[in-house]
Amino acid sequence: MKRDDKKLSIIGAGAVGTAAAQWAVTRSVADTIVLLDVVEGLPQGKALDLVQTSPLTGSEADVLGTNDYADTADSDVVIITAGLARRPGMSRGDLLDKNVQIIREVTEEVARYSPNACLIVVTNPIDAMVYTVFKVSGFPKQHVVGMAGVLDSARYRTFIAQALDVAPRDVTALVMGIHGDNMLPLVRLASVGGVPVEALLSKEEIEEIVYRTQHGGAEIVGHLKTGSAFSCPGLAAVEMAQSILRDEKRVLPCAVYLEGEFGISGIFLGVPVVLGRDGVERILEFPLSQEEQEALGRSVEAVKRQIAATGL
Ligand code: A3D
């Protein structure tokens, strides 16, 4: 590797980890992309398959599949997807006990080999897992961030675009709070080409979109039956990684450690932030209406219950 080369490691070569690797290779977000899993052969086979897309995509990234954390050494960004995914009828809460144990082990290894990396956590229940990574790694709060808001906002924007029959990329909309039923898709600030969505859709239409966004993960699990969403979650994580690796300073909703922002302290929760070379470079705080503040309060209570269940 040359001195300025960028390295991205992805822990967990399951559905989300593989999708993230595929997006990362296609977009050439790093010079070296490492895919790691506990299952022998799985990351090696997937990495080989991915690197063979290079002649077709023009990607110049090196792709390595491994079971050895030494191969992830000196990563700039590590995306953590290791763990169990939700099955039908299984809540994100049910996942907690099993995934805390996995996340502890993964974090210790990642922190040992890449002490300066920014860590993007995807494993559910995300708001508690990212807290676990923060506590176990001892990394600065700027270097630990949870992926959920980018995915939830993409779902929200998609549903608004479909309702209005407009280009999805022209919809600007933000989902804050927990990754779960209590998430807060902000209606007041949703706009399409600068025009408020509230002026274009009825209250009932908006309520339906908000509900569908809040249950967007479960809707997909209901169809897939044996797994959960992976394509958009993988891309959402790569969108965040890319902003850090290329110092893009994108404004993205991410689960970050709050110390008084929005009146909340001591937990990770989804809020809009600037992601750049230094990780979470700024939290963009703004006044919420009383109703929004109350809704965010419900997220806070739900996250606190999850954190209490981790025993940390
Ligand atoms: P899956 O396809 O089961 O992949 C998980 C992978 O983790 C498997 O290949 C396992 O072998 C691997 N693994 C298990 N333990 C370890 C370990 N100790 N070290 C390294 N690898 C390990 O699941 P998935 O990819 O569909 O989902 C992964 C996680 O992301 C789950 O917890 C999901 O719930 C979560 N997820 C979160 C979102 C968010 O928006 C936050 C969206 C989609 C999935």
Residues 184 and 297 in one domain: yes
> Is ligand 1 within 6 A of the CB of residue 220?
no
Residues 70 and 205 in one domain: no
pLDDT beneath 50: ranges in the chain: none
Domain boundary among 146, 174, 193: 146
> Is ligand 1 within 6 A of the CB of residue 15?
yes
> Is ligand 1 within 6 A of the CB of residue 241?
no
**Residue 277, in any domain of the structure:** yes
Residue 312: predicted pLDDT: 81
Residue 296: predicted pLDDT: 95
> Is ligand 1 within 6 A of the CB of residue 175?
no
Residue 94: predicted pLDDT: 73
Domain boundary among 93, 120, 146: 146
Question: How far away, in angstroms, is 122 Cα from ligand 1 center?
Answer: 8
| Mutation test residue for ligand 1: of 122, 127, 153, the one with most atoms within 8 Å of CB | 122
Closest CA to 150 of 238, 23, 214, 261: 238
Tokens of 213: 């966004």
Domain of residue 222, CATH code: 3.90.110.10
Catalytic residues: 179
> Domain tally for the chain?
2
Q: Please give the model's pTM, rounded to 2 decimal places.
A: 0.97
**Token pair 């490492």 is at which residue?**
34
The amino acid present at 238, given as its one-letter code, is V
Residues 136 and 219 in one domain: no
**Residue 239, in any domain of the structure:** yes
| Mutation test residue for ligand 1: of 22, 67, 81, 98, the one with most atoms within 8 Å of CB | 81
Residues 185 and 274 in one domain: yes
| Mutation test residue for ligand 1: of 124, 224, 268, the one with most atoms within 8 Å of CB | 124
Q: Which domain, by its residues, includes 121?
A: 7-146
> Is ligand 1 within 6 A of the CB of residue 81?
yes
DSSP string, the chain: --TT--EEEEE--SHHHHHHHHHHHHTT--SEEEEE-SSTTHHHHHHHHHHTTHHHH----EEEEES-GGGGTT-SEEEE--SPPP-TT--TGGGHHHHHHHHHHHHHHHHHH-TT-EEEE-SSSHHHHHHHHHHHH---GGGEEE-SHHHHHHHHHHHHHHHHTS-GGGEE--EEB-SSTT-EE-STT-EETTEEGGGTS-HHHHHHHHHHHHTHHHHHHHHHSS----HHHHHHHHHHHHHHHTT--EEEEEEEEEESGGG-EEEEEEEEEEEETTEEEEE---PPPHHHHHHHHHHHHHHHHHHHHHT-
Residue 89: predicted pLDDT: 73
Domain of residue 97, CATH code: 3.40.50.720
**Residue 2, in any domain of the structure:** no
> Is ligand 1 within 6 A of the CB of residue 9?
no
Residues 185 and 94 in one domain: no
Question: How far away, in angstroms, is 23 Cα from ligand 1 center?
Answer: 17
**Residue 1, in any domain of the structure:** no
Residues 109 and 215 in one domain: no
> How far is it, in rounded angstroms, from Cα 8 to Cα 21?
9
Domain boundary among 146, 162, 181: 146
